[in-house]
Structure 1
């Protein structure tokens, strides 16, 4: 089977760097699957999953924000946050979910509502990814 090079970068580390069979990642427009020889593509990342398939195995991560850039040289994902499912602290994620829900029950400015809503989506995504 054909492979392509994938590099996933976050603000503080090289999250992944290697050859893969395929990738599925959440963009702001929905999930996209990337295979070898994919057409050039650039999209903003949403809050969702990143699944990397390589040598018959797959590994899942929670991702939030950033960009995916597919070119003939390979695929680069620049993520604001990205963490492997098995690295997620579920109790911390549940606490963040509860705090965001409580915050949304308060009288907030529109900006504060948006921030709390995004925090809730991130927490729920982290829990969903960790429990898969």
Structure 2
């Protein structure tokens, strides 16, 4: 089966760089399944899991936004953050979820609701990947 190179890069480091069979992401306009020889494309990503299929195994990463660039034989994800399931601290993710929910439920003017909503989405994404 043919493969393509997947690179997932954050501002801090290269999180992932391997030959894979398929990548599935949630773009701004919906879900994308990427196979080798996909049409070239650049699109923003949502806060959602990235599912990687490689040699019959499936691996999932928690990605928090960013962009994906698809070429014929290479996919590059430039993400604000990306974590492998094994790197996620579940207790920390649960604490982040609680803080975001408290901020969203507070009826105060100084609360930045958009920021709290994004924090909640990131926490829920990390929790779902870890579980």
Same fold (TM over 0.5): yes
Tell me the residue number matched to 2:66. 66
1:49 equivalenced with 2:49 (yes/no) = yes
RMSD: 1.5
The answer for the alignment partner of 1:103 in structure 2 is 103
Question: For the Cα contact (< 8 Å) 2:36–2:73, is it kept in 1?
Answer: no
Aligned equivalents of 2:55, 2:119: Cα separation in 1: 34
What 5-or-longer segments of structure 1 have no aligned partner? none
User: Do structure 1's residue 90 and structure 2's residue 76 form an aligned pair?
Assistant: no
CA distance in 1, matches of 2:43, 2:111: 25
Give the deviation of 1:110 after TM superposition. Answer: 8.3
Match of 1:35 in 2: 35
CA distance in 2, matches of 1:77, 1:9: 6
* Kept after mapping to 1: 8 A contact 2:3/2:73: no
Matched, 1:130 2:130: yes
Structure 1 counterpart of 2:10: 10
Structure 2 length-normalised TM: 0.93
Structure 2 residue ranges without an equivalent (≥5):
none
